[in-house]
Structure 1
Amino acid sequence: MEKMNILLCCGAGMSSGFLAQQTRIAAKKQGIMARVEAKSQNNIEDDLPNIDILLIGPHLAYAYDDLKKSCDRYNVPVTIIPKDMYAGLDGEGLLQLCIETLKEKETQNG
């Protein structure tokens, strides 16, 4: 995985902004070109055709099914960010989660 477009989604887009920043730093350290953005749940629809993965804050788990339906139209995987990773602003862990999720998607798609 050499290039990724990652979108983090939270209620207002602010708390995930810090996590996005840490994920960009982790990607740079690993030599991965990654565009990592954070937006509020209400502002993601236009980005779905252009992203590789959508990560949602643990507090938005209730919206998972609706977000998954939207993402399925574009074959974009959706993952809920683990609470400890979110709270700890674990950019390295989040990057690894993205890599694993996208590898799994490739395997499923052949």
Structure 2
Amino acid sequence: MENLKVLLCCGNGLSSGFLAQQGRKAAKKKGVDIKIEAKSEAEAVAHMPKIHVLLLAPHYETFKEKFAELAKPYHVAVGVIPQKVYGALDGEKLVEYAIELHQSNKL
């Protein structure tokens, strides 16, 4: 897999920043080539041309359709981080979810 670029999105990028950090650690441990960053919801659109996957914090689920429309021209997969993954800061599950979403978007 190419260097997968994932953007986590929440209100101001703070809570998702902790999860992104855990995801980077998990990816490194697994030897997976993935770049995970966190940004605020306001910054997400500007990053669309540079990412493969956009993951929204659970409390942004209502914005999923809006972001999916914005992401379509860039072929960016959009998903909502499961609450269990987000709440537990489970970097390993985050990486798995991002890879699954990316692969299903390529079909």
What's the TM-score once normalised by structure 1's chain length?
A: 0.93
Q: Indicate how the Cα distance of structure 1 residues 27 and 2 shifts in structure 2: closer, same or farther if over 3 A, else same.
A: farther
Report which of the two has the higher share of helix: 2
Residue identity (%):
42
Q: Which position in structure 1 is the counterpart of 2:65?
A: 65
Cα distance in structure 2, aligned partners of 1:102 and 1:6: 9
1:77 pairs with 2:77:
yes
- Using the TM superposition, give the Cα deviation of residue 33 of structure 1 relative to its aligned residue in structure 2, in angstroms: 2.2
5+ residue gaps in structure 2?
none
Q: Which position in structure 2 is the counterpart of 1:98?
A: 98
Cα distance in structure 1, aligned partners of 2:28 and 2:2: 11
Provide Cα deviations, 1:54-84, integer angstroms capped at 9, x if missing partner.
0000000111111111111111010000001
What's the TM-score once normalised by structure 2's chain length?
A: 0.95
5+ residue gaps in structure 1?
none
Q: Give the SS at the match of 2:55.
A: strand
- Following TM superposition, the consecutive aligned residue runs of length 4 or more in structure 1 with deviations greater than 3 angstroms are none
Number of equivalent positions? 107
Cα distance in structure 2, aligned partners of 1:13 and 1:101: 21
Cα distance in structure 2, aligned partners of 1:85 and 1:26: 13
Cα distance in structure 1, aligned partners of 2:28 and 2:3: 11
1:42 pairs with 2:42:
yes
